[in-house]
Chains A and B, each alone.
Chain A
């Protein structure tokens, strides 16, 4: 690896200053499961690494049934799926954190790191989108907030400006009669990158019979993870058992997929998978509401 300086600031403002001073030659280190590989392979040339794991705001993990989830950007995956209350409230987040790499990767990899790495195939991003997460971005001039679906702008690129970093994420408390689901298609059982990923969340009425609202999000079918807004909206008011509604949503989701063909799968296969996985994610989320 090329030489760089290692810093471990204790405060948000110190981190922002350390980043601002070096511009593109500085990067945040969370779990390092993407960053260390990228630096080692020469894909990134850095003069400074800013380890945020000593900053209290980046390590917050608090859940309250009214206030929702506050998730520090450096919190590793295992802490999320290992927390029963958080897994029960945000099943799609538990689904996605549980399939990132293997045990040793999950011991380090953060959801914040997965988001900031901005891979089109990142597993937690569709989950965050369907759960309506908000990004809290810290910089040299204080903090700003944006919805997670606007965070990634291109493969590996985010809205973060010089001196800014992701401090934490906020996820609103789940509404009553709601649930969520994330799944992906991979050719192996574990330890692989999504060919396609799909997340869904649904809110049902009190009788758990009709859909009040839904959200669908997709991974690995465009330069960034996508919020399938039109497909989501058309489910409002439809019966939860109406397979034709689920089918229509799946077809609508397919129309926004713009996948590439690569060694993991052809564009045609990916579009087909969007349909299959969208249906499974929606039905999975509906099933979870009914079982709750």
Chain B
């Protein structure tokens, strides 16, 4: 095989990407397309007194300017709470909020004219942090809360009226107070977590083409069917008249999930009835959405032997100015702060609050990094307080395979002790080197919201080539290559025979969306079903036409074996249809009722991770180096090893960013580092020179061939593992991220 064949075998999209042929939204040109440039709010929270667009409109080449007045009658949209105007109407709630779109013949004209739009603001009292937002007399960022039940996720938000709290989730098991009263030891900690930027290489870019009663949108959307639904409701169009096309996408990490700038771009196109593109810069996308910051108090009670008796956690999440999916992030953060331990008495409370900052959004393992940062740092603190080795403390308290960590969640489908053992062995295998090398451990078990709703179409052509159509998007994670492999394996054809179509809702059947580590399992199962359906049809054709028993027939590469001979697909279609043409169309669906309801219970599988970090601290400067890291995950079965390892490594490296570098900072609501120069993410030189990915395969997952989902878990243990290494060897406990050199140095100073 040549190098390019090799690459294509791993991922058919790689050659297109490295040769620059891959077309992203900014590479597309729709005939007659105009360009929009967004005028953004410099104010943190303010009433819009007036918008003067006359100077901008008079510029040659400017076609129109969209403002709130144009779209006020459409009302608000949202995916959980209906809280978001298409563009600011009478008020802005964060710095960066769109207040006008200048529409022009070229992007240069639009951007220059945007400087001429004159907006007058009247400042309002603001709440820019969680603490400010929950004060009794805090200014209300939204006066009313309108919940959309079961709209995007099952369930909805539980807002507190007349407050900035837009969602509160509570869950309790047993009697925490009684357990604490009987405990030998109780330990409480508080941790905070900053807002973090998704920092996808491709910023948000959308083309919308509104023509009369139909709308076509090209967007790097992770959940095209959610975009379709929101646009259909907002603009009162039948779903069948709203078409969402997803070309190549340059990363999303949740920042392109649910719905982002699509309603805005559609409104601009609606106003001028011509296609329009808005292609944001990196800076604008940093002002569009970010991970929710958090303030977490966690308390654990243990008995004299170190067994956990009770755990309680109160989590406050900073949801920014609009809720997006922040309510789900809060709920998941509460769920993700528990496991994988046996905790007989449990009290969880998580709230998401509005603040006058960039809207919060889903981000790789929603609520996970916040929760696991707190719980796994806390675990080592508890172990240390009772004089136990942290690994032993974990082993003693792990829930075992088949055990439930909460009655309403699926029993654990993996062995956490094994994962922890695997990362420890990985370190032991390599010669231990000398002085002052510290290591720290952390584990996580999270409940992805996999939503078992998906459809797939698999078409087997007369020449044996296969077309797969799904709504899963290829966002760089390799989903389409995985779907191709599943179809190929099921139909016994070589992977090179399969083409997976880029997502277009006009062709691709309904699916919930690309996120929550669900595609390989849920969409993969529907592809498998569709392939089985196609197989069934072609086998039936042979049985019928050749008058052979079905049992004697089997699929082989290029056709069907009858036992005595191989009939090519050509021969089959030709004889069955009378002409040398044709195809069979297989359809596969997954619903909560599939597999006798086995997929309905939440979560579909547990996403697991264990991480072990070795660190060396320059005590003079406070700088942390990570020479070695091991990451383990139980993935059930690996379908595409290069892609799976890449996902694990990528998630962990993102975790290094969270741990050591990243925080989107605000000063009184004003973003101060929302530029790619001031915001730093890890570089290849920051990746540990020794990095071991261990994928545990027991073939026991719900997906094709026993696969489980993956790709998010490895981000979770990194920060607490590093923090625990700092704690055990250097005697300092960092409670807020990122662990910058200055923070570490100050803690070291305080210690000595």
Are A and B interaction partners? Answer: no
Binding site for B on A (CB under 8 A): none
